[in-house]
Structure 1
């Protein structure tokens, strides 16, 4: 492999560090960065797509396969299984890499994928070229790619208590997901107008409120649910005990707006499930954010399923948000009290 000279400067995108080859251009997107070089006369090109890190509790092989199926095979025609390279470690990242030949219309080339799994996250770099003209650039680029070590805040270790003695957990924690259409543009899944939103509000007095709202363009109704109850901490264990709650369906507004409600279609008492999670507070330097990570051996009524492997622990990541910045609006006439019955 070709060594880098001392003049080459590392650049950073999200948690990915790399050295930009001379003459290459950048094309930043909302959730990815593409760098590329093209020969307009011959149609020869080389490019690399770097994807924002996202939460994941899947093993490294599962994340590699997921990216390969959606972003490689969803973009070009790959008729063979990828040739896998030996896995390596970069800090606490597990790096899984593989390559294959591809066709894209009249173009033929090679695609290489390098996927990193660690710190409850996953990310990937996909490199493609239809020529050997830029092979030196690609070798240098692939050798330069690294993944930033994410600093972990030490897990809380407190004596048995209610939330009032653990103000670091008190506040609003959210998991907001965007619905995608199944189609791709520049290797990225295209969003619909739909969304999936989940949030916990832990009060300092040991009470909590949980809200969830699903607005899918593929579903007839809006799904809404809530719980109230109590929470407590014992070392690295967070126990959430719901005392009341509802699961509801609402029709969509006649205007079609995703922020409006129609009328209540169905309302039933929610199944109340007390869960004792293993929890962590993780600081991600690439995002300058401390997230609340909840782990449990199986899917829960509130959080759902996060792993398709029944033998793999489920982990859910919730981001902090100001109390007045919740994106879940209550349906018309709905009032939820925090006065939980202990």
Structure 2
């Protein structure tokens, strides 16, 4: 009888509405979740080891994943400078280029590197042709373009590495989602990142509901669609950091890119800043003293949405409007905008 109140109290304390019961339940749930997560992690680790053990032994070669070898931009120059650097450092190490250009040939690529960029290769690279390049084209994914192209690059890299598995996998085009696959094939993964696929700036624009090239007015005009896109960007950013951390060596082209890559990939000790190999020899031949009448403003950039080339033209228009409104005579000048789109160069002029 004396113990009955104590027993009653103990039994009553296990009521689901009791706070202690909730804490105990959460502790049990957390323990089970930790146990299951540990088992899944061990199983995944074992699976990755199994897949890696069954992968073919990599060939003693450097493979450059660059699906577009005729874009004519700075990325292609980095490709050929990297190939030449490897040839200088390891003369006996073969170099191969993974490309989706069906008309590319070893001698043709070597000639292009010399004619277009002034980079003389010690010997023509091997060429590995890719037939699935359409899976990384933006036109294939009208919606969810980033994740579509990223997953498509994995499929393309699967084709590439099954055709030829190099000891060193060098990505010069920014396809970070291919790094875990290259790691599974036993490759050492190196990359040169010109621009992060996603950055905090992009997510911030969506949060502020700004209509831009990567955020159309339909989404920016809806608070719920904007929130969904922010969630999409958050998940993609986490995945981008996960796959990027698989690289053994990361090279970036600027301090701005490095800060974003370090923030997302979390591998600062493996991230090195290597400025782009710009050829200024032709510019050095220009005389410093020359006529500046009328003055000419020159803007050099690729004609791509993210370059916001129209801002340069808008600035020129504002200058003209300011002169008209304030009656302040400003010197006449011309704006020369030079760049390229796709593989075709172009120049446009406005006064």
TM-score past 0.5 threshold = no
Highest CA radius of gyration, 1 or 2? 2
Give the structure with the higher percent helix. Answer: 2
Q: TM-score, normalised by structure 2?
A: 0.24
Q: TM-score, normalised by structure 1?
A: 0.24
Give the structure with the higher percent strand. Answer: 1
